């Protein structure tokens, strides 16, 4: 059953129980341990850190200010339709 990588989702199967990076719509990036996924890329992650990046233009200096906010969530279900990419752990 444990074949190699024949189709894209096989790569995600090999990432089960590992920390993955998930890029989401709305300038959000998640990092967490992968416990479940399905063909829609619905997922369950644990020990999640979410980073949201926003940009604002300063009233006076007209400079672009990039802000990042971080949130931690112990256990998270992620709906697949918001997922842009899933990156397996570095080896």
Residues lying near another protein in the complex (CB under 8 A) are found at 1, 3, 6-7, 9-10, 13, 16-17, 24, 33, 35-39, 42, 44, 46, 57, 59, 62-64, 73-79, 81-82
Closest CA to 11 of 37, 31, 33: 37
Task: Note whether 45 and 17 are within 8 A (CB).
Answer: no
In the complex, minimum distance from the CB of residue 50 to another protein, in angstroms, rounded to a whole number: 8
**Integer Cα distance of 91 and 25 in angstroms:** 26
In the complex, minimum distance from the CB of residue 57 to another protein, in angstroms, rounded to a whole number: 4
Which is nearer to another protein, 35 or 68 (by Cβ)? 35
């Amino acid at each position: 059953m444990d074949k190699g990588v024949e189709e894209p989702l096989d790569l995600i199967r090999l990432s089960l129980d590992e920390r993955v990076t998930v890029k989401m719509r709305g300038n959000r990036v998640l990092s967490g341990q992968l416990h479940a996924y399905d063909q829609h890329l619905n997922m369950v992650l644990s020990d999640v850190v979410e980073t949201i990046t926003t940009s604002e233009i300063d009233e006076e200096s007209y400079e672009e200010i990039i802000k990042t906010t971080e949130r931690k969530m112990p256990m998270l279900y992620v709906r697949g339709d918001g997922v842009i990419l899933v990156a397996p752990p570095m080896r």
